Amino acid sequence: MNFLLRSFALSLLATSGARAVGVARGQIKNFVTFGDSYTDIVNVGDGGTAWPVYASGYSDIALFPFAKSGATCSNNITFRPFPSVFESQLPAYFEEVSNGSLKLKPEETIYTLWIGTNDLGESALLTGDAVGFLPNVTNCMVDWVKVLYENGARNFVFQNMIPLELTILYSATGYFTKFWTFPRNSTEWSVFMNELVLTGNEETLLKLEALLPHIPDAHVAHFDSHGLFQDMFNHPSEFLNGTAPLNVTGCVNSCVFQVNDPNNSVCTLVNGTDRDSYLWFDELHPSEQADRIVAREMALVMEGKSSLWATWLS
């Protein structure tokens, strides 16, 4: 839509008294996170401080963390012995609400979900090891909004999946890592992963939009992690600021698995201010600087300001 048309549409919305889109500035006092190692603040994936801790600091919004490393959306669909969103994280949250240890006012609280890396990846959809399929996973992701809404939640940020084919584990040029030590065709992995992520992200957006009429008074933001990480990959100098040459293909903590000598991975660790030159921390996880960028943009969304990477759907 061009600018004039867009402003016209927006002013029509305003004059027709349509329901406000998004949260108001200063409305949100708390955020509750769900997800995997990209969001876990204890078992941190980026080698430093996780994005929710930065986002809380940048925005002065209190953090209530439920995301856990290794998680998938539901172990019914992609079985992995880790605390999934549906069988572990949501039950933990509901338990704290019902026993009175967590008292959050719905209008002051926003819920975030960043999930999918483990659902789509090795030992799951990518390698044919899941019980269900991509549509099951995307239903599950969107059901997270529905289930929380039915229990009183009103404000949500849905973070879509990053271009996982750009991580070393899933790239066409990826080496053997501790994450996957069996033979694989890395070209096929990257092609298939790209398809899974793009299709999955499109499905969740369509399914979220279809859910909106059923969740009146909810505010749902769609956070385009995919676009943000693709932009960091394409234009690293706009985001990365370390003291080493900027690097979006290697990682801070690389371990090259030796096929003929499996107990002897050759590891290299980048230290200090050089780390902020990297997009990836290891073969699967974003770096701390990438996470600061995620935090900065997520803070803007939660504060009711605008982020280039987020769209309020309602």
Under rule CB under 6 A, residue 234 binds ligand NAG: no
- Closest C-alpha to 197, from 138, 249, 237, 255: 138
Smallest distance, ligand NAG to C-beta of residue 313, A: 23
Which residue's C-beta sits nearest to ligand NAG?
250
Write the DSSP assignment of 46-90 as a string of letters. Answer: SSS--HHHHHHHHHT-EEEE---TT--S-TTTS--SS--IIIIIH
Smallest distance, ligand NAG to C-beta of residue 31, A: 19
Q: How would you classify the pairing of strands 266-269 and 253-256?
A: antiparallel
Under rule CB under 6 A, residue 276 binds ligand NAG: yes
- Closest C-alpha to 119, from 80, 167, 152, 163: 80
Give CA–CA dist 247/208, Å, rounded: 35
Phi then psi dihedrals of residue 90, to 5 deg:
-65, -45
Near ligand NAG by CB under 6 A: residue from 2, 15, 101, 173: 101
Near ligand NAG by CB under 6 A: residue from 11, 151, 258, 268: 268
Coil, strand or helix at 115 = coil
Q: Cβ closer to ligand NAG: 23 or 197?
A: 197
Near ligand NAG by CB under 6 A: residue from 7, 9, 57, 95: 95
CA 37 to chain centre: 9
Near ligand NAG by CB under 6 A: residue from 262, 266, 306, 308: 262
Q: Which residue has the tokens 């949500």?
A: 156
Under rule CB under 6 A, residue 242 binds ligand NAG: yes
Q: Cβ closer to ligand NAG: 294 or 302?
A: 294
Under rule CB under 6 A, residue 241 binds ligand NAG: yes
Under rule CB under 6 A, residue 16 binds ligand NAG: no
Give CA–CA dist 51/24, Å, rounded: 22
Q: Which residue has the tokens 């029509």?
A: 12
Under rule CB under 6 A, residue 154 binds ligand NAG: no
Residue type, 132: G
Under rule CB under 6 A, residue 181 binds ligand NAG: no
Under rule CB under 6 A, residue 238 binds ligand NAG: no
Q: Report the interface residues with ligand NAG, using CB under 6 A.
A: 74, 76-77, 86, 92, 95-96, 99-101, 131-133, 135-136, 185, 187-188, 241-242, 245, 247, 249-250, 254, 262-263, 268-271, 273, 276, 289, 292
